Amino acid sequence: MITRQELIKRLKDDIKTEEVAVSLYTKHLKDTLQLADLSEEKRNRMAFLLERLTEDSRIHEQVMQDLLSRISNSGQDVF
């Protein structure tokens, strides 16, 4: 069991961590991808997948924000 305040804190921390990590790793991987000795087709495919990862992360962040809002507005104190 976890209290509402502790759950809120953990969700905020997780949201921030994901936001920072995905943007940092995506930038690093895009930069590395440009230097990689790969065919243009493979580079394009990998760039597409990185963009998809970024978009999926944005969607996940919104889901987490919605969950945070629901829990913050809940009268329930133990989850």
Residue 18 lies inside a defined structural domain of this protein: yes
Residue 13: domain span:
4-72
Q: In this structure, is residue 78 part of a structural domain?
A: no
**Residue 79 counted as domain residue:** no
Q: How far apart are CA 10 and CA 31, in angstroms?
A: 31
Instruction: List the one residue out of 34, 61, 74 whose CA is nearest residue 50.
Output: 34
22 lies in some domain = yes
Please write the tens of the pLDDT for every residue from 19-56: 899 889 888 888 888 888 899 999 999 999 999 989 99
Q: Which two tokens stand for residue 21?
A: 């990590």
12 lies in a domain?
yes
Q: What value does the mean pLDDT take over residues 45-68? A: 93
Domain count, the chain: 1
Closest CA to 65 of 25, 5, 21, 14: 14
In a domain, 14, yes or no: yes
